[in-house]
Structure 1
Amino acid sequence: MTDESLLERRVSSREVYRGGFLRVHQDMVRLPDGAHAQREYVVHPGAVVIIPLLGEEGNWRVVLERQYRYPVQQVIVEFPAGKLDAGEQALTCARRELREETGFSATEWARAGQLHPLVAYSDEAIDIWFARGLSAGARHLDEGEFLEVFDAPVEQLMAWCRDGTITDAKTIIGAFWLQQWLNGQWQPDWQRPPAEPEPAA
């Protein structure tokens, strides 16, 4: 099997909107049969999601957030997450976002993979990271950012995914990876990056 019979080739492209961190492009593409079609999509800088673990093996709890998400007009329960700054590496972003949003720092990190949450209309890619060996500290929220941080047993997380309390895609995918690990179907490759410098006051 090859991809050649499925590929769409860009013929032209124009930016139709540029916002604070999102851009919208409108492209004309040539389809595999030679016909032309229009594609509109959101250009995103990329992001990370973190599954922070408190406790120890056999008794893990996860750190979660409650945050109002304006597009869906709901308070959403989700794992800590955030977008990449220009030129920023995913692990650097994960460490920064965990500290800024929750106040926690972690001694051990493991990458689970990457997800594309909106492939029909965005190029957004989210790196999935596990964090353990947490120590508490001060939060440093962005201006205009309001969220509540709490922790819950893994069993509660899974129940909320099943009953629809949690609908956030990256959190459900993170819960899937967590379940795979706890069931022994996947083993994280834990690493201990150098200690982070203290954030400026």
Structure 2
Amino acid sequence: MELNEKTIAKTTIYNGKIIDLEVHDIALPNGQTSKRELVKHNGAVAVCAITPNNKIILVKQFRKPIENTLLEIPAGKLELNEDRTSAAQRELEEETGYIADDLQLITEMYGSPGFTNEKISIYFADNLRIGEMNLDDDEFVELHELSIEEATTKLQNGEITDAKTIIAIQYLLLNYNHSK
């Protein structure tokens, strides 16, 4: 069975700084038509970083769409045509003050592919050195360093609900030697 949906017409309803919004008229596999509302995003990167004293680096920040603060691994959006690894290094230093010269790609994921094309690349780093935080003018974060066990407890208690952070903690539990 063919599952592809063919775009018949497309209307851009908003071009923003971070996202574009489009409405597509589509042909369904059964010959009928429908509409799809799409959020176009340049993509994002995130870093699961472990400090020299074996703590996972998290940032707490307010997220307007959910009207609440989240505890998350450092992350940020890609600039146009920016290399994903370089973007991850930049975001880690900007948000935490830590520098990672060597990043390992853990995975790439689509958080909500039902309405957005945003792809997030999640990296791992554990050979860090101190740099300098350099937040954007409209960015406010609180730095947290937790043991993997503390982060796991927060995940189990529902205090960590961000998908990329959940993936990072699960990666650590499966792959990281906690006794380094």
Q: TM-score range by the shorter chain?
A: over 0.9
In structure 1, give the amino acid aligned to 2:11. R
Q: 1:161 offset after TM fit, Å?
A: 1.1
**SS of 1:108's equivalent?**
coil
Given candidates 135, 138, 153, the residue that maps to 1:141 is 135
User: Superposition pairs for residues 175-190 of structure 1, below 5 Å?
Assistant: 175-182=169-176
Q: Do the aligned partners of 2:89 and 2:101 also contact (CA within 8 Å) in 1?
A: no
Residue of structure 2 in register with 1:109 after alignment: 103
Letter in 2 for 1:14: T
Contact 1:64 1:79 survives alignment (8 Å): yes
Counterparts in 2 of 1:15-54, with a 5 A limit?
15-54=12-51
Q: Which structure 1 residue ranges, 4+ long, deviate > 6 Å from structure 2?
A: none
Q: Which residue of 2 aligns with 1:92?
A: 86
How many residues end up aligned between the 2 structures? 177
Distance in 2, Cα, partners of 1:157 & 1:131: 17
SS of the counterpart of 1:54?
coil
**Displacement of 1:144:** 1.4
* 2:52 partner letter: G
Name 1:80's counterpart in structure 2.
Answer: 74
SS at match of 2:101: strand
Match of 1:174 in 2: 168
Tell me, which stretches of 5 or more residues in structure 2 are unaligned?
none
Whether 1:7 and 2:4 are equivalent positions in the alignment is yes
Q: Secondary structure at the match of 2:139?
A: coil
Q: Could you tell me how far 1:55 is from its partner in structure 2?
A: 2.8
Using the aligned pairs only, state the percent identity: 33
Matched residue SS, 1:71: helix
The aligned amino acid for 2:44 is A
Alignment of 1:116-127 (within 5 A): 116-127=110-121
TM-score by length of 2: 0.94
Compute the displacement of 1:163 (Å). Answer: 1.1
Q: Pairwise CA RMSD of aligned residues?
A: 1.3
Give 1:156's match in structure 2, choosing from 150, 154, 166.
Answer: 150
Q: TM-score, normalised by structure 1?
A: 0.84
Residues 54-73 of structure 1 mapped to structure 2, 5 A cutoff: 54-55=51-52, 60-73=54-67
Please say if residues 107 and 132 of structure 1, whose CA atoms lie closer than 8 Å, have aligned partners that are also in contact: no
